[in-house]
Chain A
């Protein structure tokens, strides 16, 4: 059982480049979310989805896009990378957004130079 799989694990981008962080889960969870983790800041919600075709913004959505065409996949797109987007990104999924365990991927460490 793979759980939540994120790719790539590490990425270096130049300012202005775009890229997509991939997230896939095999637990048939409806709720998926993206967080970024910065030193001293904890986990901050970027975007989330309550099911295929439905997405919404979290606390820090600027500079990021998401889509949810299938239950399994929830990619995060950086439109034009900036050094402020240097961070560790985590994808999570759960059976529902209410009172259930969130399963996290191993993270993607992104550096924007």
Chain B
């Protein structure tokens, strides 16, 4: 079973601060996805990273896929209250199934 460990599990910060969320595994993934989930809703895809070492930017969000394709990070610059939510990473393994991490619950206080 391929496992994805996310850290931290909870994060509470003030508006304007920067933060980084990590997603780590001992397994290699062919791609890795980041989702954001708001209360009462299903997860919504933010980004997919495919190539080892790849960096993608989505406005204030920067996603990085590790060179060995075993880990990823999400960095948010100048966090805003609208960034509040559960951030989930999901790795696509050799069996084509998505394996989800347990998530990082982010709260950005105004």
Name A's B-contacting residues (CB within 8 A): 4, 33, 35, 40-45, 48, 58-59, 90, 92, 97-99, 101-102, 104-107
Q: A104 contacts which chain B residues (CB < 8 A)?
A: 42-44
User: Number of B residues whose C-beta is below 8 Å from A?
Assistant: 24
Name B's A-contacting residues (CB within 8 A): 1, 9, 30-31, 33, 40-45, 48, 50, 88, 90, 92, 96-103
Q: B9 contacts which chain A residues (CB < 8 A)?
A: 40
Give the secondary structure class of B's interface: loop
In the complex, A58 Cα to B2 Cα: how many Å? 13
In the complex, A101 Cα to B43 Cα: how many Å? 11
The 3 closest A-B pairs by CB, nearest first: A104-B42, A42-B102, A43-B100
Q: How far is the CB of A27 from chain B (nearest CB, A)?
A: 14
Of A42, A97, A99, most B-chain CB atoms within 10 Å:
A42
* Contact between A42 and B42, CB atoms less than 8 A apart: no
* Contact between B98 and A102, CB atoms less than 8 A apart: yes
In the complex, A107 Cα to B9 Cα: how many Å? 22
* Contact between A98 and B92, CB atoms less than 8 A apart: yes
Q: How far is the CB of A110 from chain B (nearest CB, A)?
A: 14
Q: How far is the CB of A35 from chain B (nearest CB, A)?
A: 8
Q: A45 contacts which chain B residues (CB < 8 A)?
A: 97-99
| Sample of 19 further A-B pairs with CB below 8 A, known A44-B100, A99-B31, A102-B43 | A40-B9, A42-B88, A42-B100, A42-B102, A43-B88, A43-B90, A43-B100, A45-B98, A59-B1, A98-B30, A99-B48, A99-B50, A99-B92, A101-B33, A102-B45, A104-B43, A105-B42, A106-B41, A106-B42
